[in-house]
Amino acid sequence: MRIRRREFLRSTAAIPNAGEKLYGPSLRVVAGKVKIPDGPGWGVRINPAWLEKATYQKSERPAR
């Protein structure tokens, strides 16, 4: 599994009902494994309505 897909799974696991609100199609568990969609990138489409309501946060590291 590519790193970006693994990180996507980790980040969406932290958001309650993410598959219903944040993106589609929802990820499915088949025989104890997550079925990854075949689309480009993460294999899902981010819901633009969810993004419009989301709060933008940016972390910054202090300059060295």
**pLDDT for res 58:** 81
pTM summary value: 0.48
Per-domain boundaries in the chain: 3-53
| Residue 53 DSSP SS3 | helix
Per-residue model confidence as pLDDT tens digits over 44-55:
788 888 888 888
- Phi-psi sector, 43: left (phi>0), alpha (psi -120 to 50), beta: left
Q: Residue-wise pLDDT tens for the chain (64 aa)? A: 555 767 777 777 777 767 667 777 777 778 888 777 777 777 778 888 888 888 878 888 887 7
DSSP-assigned letter for residue 60:
-
Dist CA 47 CA 59 (whole Å): 23
Amino acid 64: pLDDT: 77
CA 60 to chain centre: 22
